[in-house]
Amino acid sequence: SPAHERYGPLHPMWQEPLDIPGGDRQSPIDIVVRKSVFDPQLRPLKVQYDPRTCQQIWNNGYSFLVEYDDTTDKSTLKGGPLEDQFRLCQFHFHWGENNAWGSEHSIDRRLYPAELHLVHWNSDKYSLFEEAVIEENGLAVIAVFLKIGKRHEGLQKLVDALPDSVVEFTKFDPACLLPEKIDDYWTYAGSLTTPPLTEAVTWIVMKQHIEVSHDQVGGRYVWGISPKNENELPSCCSIDSNATTTFKAQKSSKN
């Protein structure tokens, strides 16, 4: 069943108590630049996205996802730290209530207003995302920081399409959201940053950010997770704010 039938406002992920894994590779992390080590064995990243695999955009109650058809090897990622070929299944953003924060990773403790995650799963070893998500080398996520600046034309097509639920969204090439130098990245072994927090992710964090204008960045009144006015707030938003707070509290109580 598609993700929006498994997750989303009607089945919020945070309600049941979580048995968060003990975890020695939990994400997100603060990237301490002076402690990062150059690895000459890292190869250039090979990103080959086919815009025709773009299927839909939907609001899952705490962010919005753009989902891709991952039934064949049409939109793939390989190279860099990766031994296998990975299939793009979705991308989504993390943002804050204001532009002072919002990203999940930080660079020398600096947070960005938002962070894009392009989620891929290992199609050489597994046949479904659900299988790969529980395996150590199952997922690869490219993270790109967003900074407020000039308007990002490619992003605008997405912002214009933002749904209150699920809308058909096609021919979007996510490569337009990547910075120009995709071979300048940090990589580390980590986890999903939201439940089920499984430690299955090879993170590839881009050093270069992309610029978006302030009216393009997330937050309750821009990225379509809340209606025209406050009292029409769909239930998902209330779950959204509580869940986010609860989840963050759980996570900080853990470590």
Ligand X SMILES: NS(=O)(=O)c1ccc(C(=O)NCCc2c[nH]cn2)cc1
Q: Under the rule (CB under 6 A), what is the footprint of ligand X? A: 117, 119, 130, 133, 141, 192-194, 196
For residue 226, the partner it binds in ligand X, Zn ion, none, with Cβ less than 5 to 8 A by kind, is none
Contact positions with Zn ion (CB under 5 A) in 81-140: 117
Q: What single-letter DSSP state applies at residue 44?
A: P
CA–CA distance, 119 with 198 (Å, rounded to integer): 14
Least separation in angstroms between residue 94's CB and Zn ion is 5
CB 34 → Zn ion: shortest distance, Å? 26
Residue 12 vs 229, nearer CB to ligand X: 12
Q: Cα(first)–Cα(last) distance of the chain, in Å?
A: 34
DSSP E strands, 63-104: 64-68, 76-79, 86-95
Helix (H) or strand (E) holding 158: helix 153-161
Going by C-beta distance under 8 Å and a sequence separation of 6 or more, which residues neighbour residue 127?
none
- The answer to whether residue 209 forms part of the interface with Zn ion (CB under 5 A) is no
Beta carbon of residue 92, minimum distance to Zn ion (angstroms, whole number): 6
Residue 116 binds: one of Zn ion, ligand X, none (C-beta under 5 to 8 A by kind): none
For ligand X, give the closer residue by CB, 130 or 230: 130
Between 182 and 197, CB nearer to ligand X: 197
200, two tokens: 């299955």
Which residue's structure tokens are 């924060």?
Answer: 101
Rounded to the nearest whole angstrom, what is the least distance from the CB of residue 43 to ligand X in the complex?
A: 23
Task: Indicate the residue among 78 and 117 with the shorter CB distance to Zn ion.
Answer: 117
Nearer to ligand X, 54 or 192 (CB): 192
Compare residues 96 and 196 and give the one whose CB is closer to ligand X.
Answer: 196
- What is the closest distance, in whole angstroms, from the C-beta atom of residue 21 to ligand X in the complex? 13
Name which of ligand X, Zn ion, none residue 123 binds, using a CB cut-off of 5 to 8 Å depending on partner kind.
Answer: none
Nearest CA to 157 out of 176, 144, 142, 143 is that of 176
Distance in Å, CB of 34 to ligand X, minimum: 25
Sequence-distant contacts of 107-110: CB under 8 A, at least 24 apart: 107/30, 107/31, 107/33, 107/145, 108/30, 108/31, 108/32, 108/33, 108/34, 109/30
Choose from ligand X, Zn ion, none: what does 130 bind? Cβ within 5-8 Å by kind.
ligand X
Separation CA 9–CA 116 (nearest Å): 21
In the complex, which residues of this chain contact Zn ion (CB under 5 A)?
117
